[in-house]
Structure 1
Amino acid sequence: MNETNRNKSRSGEVLIQEVNNTEVPYGCLSVWFLGQESVIIKGGGVTVYVDPFVSEFEGRSYPAPIRPEHITGADLCLITHEHIDHMDPATLSVMVRNNPSMQMVAPAWCREQLLEEAGVKEDKLADAETAVWRSPREGIRIQAIPAAHEQLEQNSQGFHRYVGYLMELNGVILYHAGDTVIYKGLLEKVRQHNVDLAMLPINGRDYFRTSRDIIGNMDYREAAEFAYAAGFETVIPLHYDLFAGNAENPGYFADYLYRHFPEQKFHIMARAERFVYVSPRAFLG
C-alpha cells in the first residue's frame, strides 16, 4: 500500500470510529456527508446509511472519504433507487458481509439486483412501501415517499421505482428526498409530517443532460422554495458535487435562501463532516 492509500485508509477508519463513538441527546441527530446523496445518520443508538456509494468509481470528482470495508456498526441501509450512485453493489456487498445484522429497505425494483449482486439475504431485505410507517428495527420508524426522477413510475404491483424516506429517529423527523423533481402532491405529502431536518437534491435538469441520459432533479431554486413551503426547520442540499457533468454550486442555494427566505435555516455540509442537528425539542428535560 502506497502512502496516499495508507492515509486514505487511516482517514476512513477514523471517520467510522467517530460514527461508532458518537452519541447525541434526545431530539438530536448526527449526520455525516459522504458525497452525492450518501449520508450516515445516527441517533438513539441506531446508525442508518442512505444510498452508500463509497467504492472506487471512474469519473468521481473526488475519492470517497471511506471505503466499503471501513463500514462497521451499520444497523439499517435505505436505498432510494437503482442508479449506481445510489445503489452500488460494490459497496453494498461488502457492507452486507461485514454487518450481518444490518437490515435493508429498497424499492421492489431493486430486489433482484440486491439479492444476486449485493448478496443481501431475503430476511434482511424489505420493500419500500409508501404511505405507511414501518419499523425495520427497534428505535426507528420510516415511511417511503414516492419520488419522481423525473417521472413517477410504478410497477404492476404498485411499487414505486424511486422513493425518498421520512424517518422518525431519536425524537427527530428527517426527510431524505432521494432523487426527485417536485410533482403535484409532493408538498402536501411531506408538509403534514412537520419535518425537522430535510435533505434535498439541487442539481437540476436540462435538455443537454437529458440528451446524455442524465436524469435530473429539482434545481436549487425549486429546492429552496420547496423547503420554505414545506416548513422544514432546517434543510441540507445534496446531489451537487460528485460528477463534473451533473453538478451545481451549493452557494447558489444558500444565496437564494438568504435573499428570499432569510428565516429559513440551512446547512451546507463539508465532505465527511459530522453535523449535529439540534431540534427545538432537545434539552427540554
Structure 2
Amino acid sequence: MIRPVLQDDAFLADVDHATATQPEALHVWWLGQSGYLVAHNSTHLVLDPYLSESLSEKYAATDKPHTRMTERVVAPERLVGISLVTSSHNHTDHLDAQTLLPLFASNPMAQLIVPAENLAFAAERLGSSTNLMALGIGETVTLGSVQVTAVPAAHDELLPCYAGYVLKIGSWTLYHSGDTLLYPGMAEKLAPFAPDIAFLPINGRLPERHVSGNLWGDEAAQLAKAIGARRAIPCHYELFTFNTEPPDLFIQTCDTLSQPYTVLRAGERLTLPAV
C-alpha cells in the first residue's frame, strides 16, 4: 500500500502553512485519482474528489474488485473553507456521495458544478443538501474569484454528460480534463485557453479490465504540448490495482517533446509563486 507524502494532520498542517505564508501563490495538492485541492488567497477549490472506500466496498465480492493501492490522503469532512467543487461526470470516483456529503456538511455554502446533463442524476445521488450548479458544455460561470468554463470530454464517447473544466483563478488558468480520450479538434478547442496547468489522466483504456477510455501517458503529454500547457500533471493512476499505469511513458514523452511537467505523489503540494 502506498502511503501519501502528507496525510491527515500533516496534510492539513501543510495546507494551513502554505496558504498562511504564501497567500498570493497558487497551491495544488493531489488528493489521488483525479482529485485536487487548489488554493489561492482565501479561495479553496476541490476538483473531482474521491476520498472514501465506497467503490472498494461496493465491488468487494465481485469479479471486479476495486483494491486500493494508495491510502486516503484526508477525510473529506476535514477539508474546510471550500467554496467550489467540481464533478466532471457521474462515475463514482468523480461523483461520490460518501465523499461529497461529508465535504458539504463541513462547507454548506460551497457550490458543486456538474455538467448540465447530469444535474438530475447528481441531485438524486446527493439529495437536497448540496448546492448544485449545472454548467452546459461551452458555458462559463463566475463564482467569487473563480471563472469556470465547461469544455467537451470523450470518455469513450463525446457526449454532454462528460466534461472538462477550464478554471481561471488569480492570474492562473487551469485545465482539468476529467476522464477523456483524444477527439477531433480537441487541441484547437483548448489551445486558446493557454493553460498554466493541465491535469490529464494517463491510465489508458483496457476493455478486458472493464476500464473506460482515457488518455495513455504519451497521449496526455502530446495533448499538453499541443494546447500550449505551461505544465502538465498526470492523474488517474495508483488508486485501484486494476485501473492504473505508471507515469513512465508520460515522463518519457514529455522529455522528448520538451513539455514541462510535474509528477505529484498523493498528498504532495505544488506551489507556483505569485507573478
TM-score where L is the length of structure 1: 0.85
Per the TM alignment, residue 193 of structure 1 is displaced from its structure 2 partner at its CA by 1.0
Aligned to 2:265: 270
CA-to-aligned-CA distance 1:255-281 (integer Å, 9 cap, x gap)? 2221x213x210000110011124xxx
When the two chains are superposed, the root-mean-square deviation of aligned CA atoms in Å is 2.1
Which of residues 69, 94, 98 is equivalent to 2:102? 94
5 Å matches for 1:199-238? 199-209=199-209, 212=210, 214-238=211-235
Which of residues 126, 134, 138 is equivalent to 2:133? 126
Q: Name structure 2 gaps, 5 residues minimum.
A: 57-66
Aligned to 1:184: 184
Q: Which amino acid aligns with 1:70?
A: R
Q: Using the alignment, how far apart are the partners of 2:185 and 2:241 within structure 1?
A: 32
Q: Using the alignment, how far apart are the partners of 1:98 and 1:50 within structure 2?
A: 16
Residues 115, 121 of structure 1: 8 Å contact kept: no
Per the TM alignment, residue 121 of structure 1 is displaced from its structure 2 partner at its CA by 4.2
Aligned to 2:30: 33
Q: Which amino acid aligns with 2:136?
A: E
Q: Using the alignment, how far apart are the partners of 2:18 and 2:127 within structure 1?
A: 29
Which of residues 150, 155, 164 is equivalent to 1:149? 155
Aligned to 1:51: 48
CA-to-aligned-CA distance 1:139-173 (integer Å, 9 cap, x gap)? 110101110001112xxxxxx10101000001101
Which of residues 79, 91, 100 is equivalent to 2:87? 79
- Name the CA shift for 1:17/1:115 in 2 (closer, same or farther; >3 Å): farther
Residues 96, 119 of structure 1: 8 Å contact kept: no
Q: Using the alignment, how far apart are the partners of 1:221 and 1:11 within structure 2?
A: 30
Per the TM alignment, residue 16 of structure 1 is displaced from its structure 2 partner at its CA by 2.7
Comparing 109-118 with 190-199, greater Cα deviation is found at: 109-118
Per the TM alignment, residue 11 of structure 1 is displaced from its structure 2 partner at its CA by 3.8
Q: Using the alignment, how far apart are the partners of 2:271 and 2:223 within structure 1?
A: 23
Q: Name structure 1 gaps, 5 residues minimum.
A: 1-7, 154-159
Q: Using the alignment, how far apart are the partners of 1:72 and 1:97 within structure 2?
A: 10
Per the TM alignment, residue 44 of structure 1 is displaced from its structure 2 partner at its CA by 3.0
Q: Could you tell me the percent identity over the aligned residues?
A: 32
Per the TM alignment, residue 49 of structure 1 is displaced from its structure 2 partner at its CA by 0.5
Aligned to 2:246: 249
Aligned to 1:156: none
Which of residues 137, 140, 147 is equivalent to 2:146? 140
Per the TM alignment, residue 67 of structure 1 is displaced from its structure 2 partner at its CA by 1.2
Residues 96, 120 of structure 1: 8 Å contact kept: no
- Where 1:22 maps in the other structure, the secondary structure is helix
Per the TM alignment, residue 64 of structure 1 is displaced from its structure 2 partner at its CA by 0.9
Q: Using the alignment, how far apart are the partners of 2:116 and 2:86 within structure 1?
A: 12
Comparing 17-26 with 46-55, greater Cα deviation is found at: 17-26
Per the TM alignment, residue 244 of structure 1 is displaced from its structure 2 partner at its CA by 1.2
CA-to-aligned-CA distance 1:66-98 (integer Å, 9 cap, x gap)? 112212111100100010111100111111111
Does 2:19 match 1:12? Answer: no
Comparing 42-51 with 161-170, greater Cα deviation is found at: 42-51
